[in-house]
């Protein structure tokens, strides 16, 4: 894991850690239940299934973050735990770059400046062009729903652009994580890596 220095930011804050803590707690419950022989015989699958279903069902996309302090050690610990997720043939080709503090602020400013000038570089296509149905309708529906939640009218292009640019500010989270992988030039390997 590469960590960019952030001496100006002693505590990192963000709400996704709370979600990770909940997930970790549910997984610990499942592990404890599976270690109890009596429980394993009578109830193991029901409770573990409920724990997994709860984790999956509670997944959501966060577009604003709380100001709850999180140490860099806690971020590192969460990344180490997440790295135990399986990857095809144990390639595990990713690296994590963590940005915070002044480094994150400068990066956000540079990317926003490029976006406002219309500059972008795509290493690979994010989606087919044009996007076919039914995917186009789904994409539009979620976009309209998001802007509606923000209170942004469909024809308010200035406010829509400002909302889109918040992506590059990590939605207010004081830490940003970039997951990078070697370029295998193979779509199947790329999909297996993430």
The CATH number of whichever domain residue 142 belongs to comes to: 3.40.109.10
Per-residue model confidence (pLDDT) at position 189? 56
Per-residue model confidence (pLDDT) at position 60? 82
Domain count, the chain: 1
Per-residue model confidence (pLDDT) at position 20? 42
* Residue 181 near residue 81, CB atoms below 8 Å: no
How far apart CA 82 and CA 80 sit, in angstroms, is: 5
Provide block-wise average pLDDT over 10 residues at a time, the chain (194 residues): 36 39 43 43 62 82 79 91 80 85 93 87 79 95 91 94 92 89 65 57
How far apart CA 97 and CA 47 sit, in angstroms, is: 36
Domain with 85, as residue range(s), is: 2-193
């Amino acid at each position: 894991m590469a960590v960019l220095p952030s001496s100006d930011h002693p505590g990192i804050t963000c709400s996704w850690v709370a979600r990770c803590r909940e997930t970790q707690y549910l997984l610990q419950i499942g592990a404890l239940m599976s270690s109890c022989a009596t429980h394993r015989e009578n109830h193991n699958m029901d409770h573990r299934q409920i724990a997994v279903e709860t984790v999956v069902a509670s997944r959501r996309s966060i577009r604003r973050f709380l100001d709850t302090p999180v140490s860099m050690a806690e971020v590192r610990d969460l990344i180490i735990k997440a790295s135990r997720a399986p990857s095809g043939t144990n390639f595990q080709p990713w690296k994590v770059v963590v940005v915070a503090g002044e480094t994150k602020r400068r990066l956000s400013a540079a990317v926003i400046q490029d976006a406002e000038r219309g500059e972008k570089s795509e290493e690979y296509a994010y989606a087919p062009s044009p996007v076919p149905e039914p995917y186009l309708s789904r994409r539009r529906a979620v976009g309209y729903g998001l802007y509606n939640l923000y209170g942004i009218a469909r024809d308010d292009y200035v406010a829509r652009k400002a909302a889109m640019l918040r992506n590059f500010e990590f939605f207010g989270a004081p830490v940003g994580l970039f997951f990078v992988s070697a370029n295998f030039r193979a779509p199947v390997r790329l999909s297996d890596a993430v």
